[in-house]
Amino acid sequence: MSKTGNILYRMLLIFAISLSGTQQVRATTQGSRSMSFTLETAIRYALGHYPAIQSVLEELTRAQNGVKLARTHYLPRLNPVYQADRATQNQVTGIFLPALITPSIEGPVQPASATSFWNTQAGALLSFEPFDFGLRRAEVEQAISAESKSRADVALTRLQIAASVGEYFLNVMAARQAVRAAQANVNRWTVFDQAVRALVDQQLRPGADASRADSELAVARTQLFQARGTEQEALEILASLLGTDSPSLQLVSTPLLESPPSSSLPTPLLSTHPAALDQQARIQELRATQHVLQRTNYPRIFLESEVFGRGSGANPDGANAGGVKGLGLATGNWIAGISIVFPDVFGFSALKDQKRMNLAEERSQAARYQQILQDLKGRVAAAGARLQVALEVAKNTPLEVEAARQAEMQARTRYQVALANILEVATAENLLARAQTDDALARLNVWRALFELAVAQGDLEPFMAVLHSRMPGRH
């Protein structure tokens, strides 16, 4: 990808994140006082305010209530009902299939009549399932597994948000160090360009040297502008993650630019990584679903009891009693018994297919779990290797800077006395600029590698503890 394309891609990324995550938050924070963050406080602030965190927390609340709902299935059901209507009584002998629009009529068949009268009925049905062959327990376990999956989602989302905030915070710090190094390079080339022009004006150096010095100064300025652009891009994305505007965002570099820690982090079990735990919870969900499917093979047994009363404005002989008679409950009855609901006889094949599908999905997710562990192992090993390299580089860059500074001074001196050409000075200047940039980033890169190791391990608290211990006043 070209530099122009890369810049456009970054601008689109910043624009997309700004629109998707922070429009409402920014509207409320405009004009507010500046917010100051260290790396630790930025991560903790994002964990408490980023919308995605609130979203998964609400999903967890939903899953917790799902467990409560599943447990209510153990309770008996009591359904009272009352009905009053005015209608005619005109029925025929026969039998019909159940239909929602067919009214229920009781009593002997009477001659057709257009006279209407009052009818009332009230009752209550008590239904209780004393045992269910483990179905309700399986449904509760299924709800509990969904709650566990939601908890795992919360932990994984928190890690992902913390990783993003930490990454862009460190990107801003690295970009600022690059800006300082680029500014120092511009300053040196500005002074040297003036010195070259003075020598050219005195005809002690050819005019080509002035053109080369101008070119190198322009290149140094371009590099400075690019470094500032990279810093602003990272700052905008970080501001969007924190729900604020970049002008009001103040970042504290302490202790990221100081002497980095020389030790690594404790190594936790890969199975405790939030990504692994999230996948384990997914497998448990599928197993709980399989258990529910296995319990649906059995019949459902209900103990039922009903008490009800009825009133009618029609006499037994079919005559209309008249007035408001029928509004009272004149006749009472009760009934008690047992109902057995058998599974759909023709549904066993479909149920068998459901079990097979669920089992195949469980095996697929189990393989995915092994893949996650394998990937995490590689990521931890790679992060540990980067940390070791960063520590070695941090020890070497001071020597690199000192040697480059001596070479730059010697090249300038040799140029002043006509013992070296401008190409030698340009090479020395570029070498010094690169060495200063390497040194500016070396200590920060140790912290970055340590942070990446913590993310790979899935636990940022040990890193936070190291970071917190290096703050001023904590020694």
70-105 pLDDT tens trace: 998 888 888 888 888 777 776 666 666 766 666 666
* DSSP-assigned beta bridge partners for residue 117: 87
If DSSP codes are grouped into helix, strand and coil, which group holds residue 345? helix
Which amino acid, 453?
L
Predicted pLDDT at 28: 39
- The two tokens of residue 314 are 């029609």
Cα separation, 195 vs 182, whole angstroms: 20
Predicted pLDDT at 286: 95
Query: Could you tell me which residues come within 8 angstroms of residue 22 by beta carbon, excluding any fewer than 6 positions away?
Result: 239, 240, 243, 244
Please say whether the beta carbons of 133 and 340 come within 8 A: no
Cα separation, 45 vs 37, whole angstroms: 9
Cα separation, 471 vs 322, whole angstroms: 93
The dihedral through the CA atoms of 399, 405, 410, 411 has a sign that is: positive
Cα separation, 281 vs 60, whole angstroms: 13
Cα separation, 412 vs 400, whole angstroms: 18
Spans of the chain below 70 pLDDT: 1-33, 90-96, 98-107, 109-114, 260, 262-263, 317-319, 321, 473-475
Predicted pLDDT at 417: 83
Domains and CATH numbers, the chain: 138-286+359-469 (1.20.1600.10)
Q: How are beta strands 116-128 and 300-312 bridged, if at all?
A: antiparallel
Predicted pLDDT at 153: 93
Query: Could you tell me which residues come within 8 angstroms of residue 24 by beta carbon, excluding any fewer than 6 positions away?
Result: none
Predicted pLDDT at 226: 95
Predicted pLDDT at 334: 87
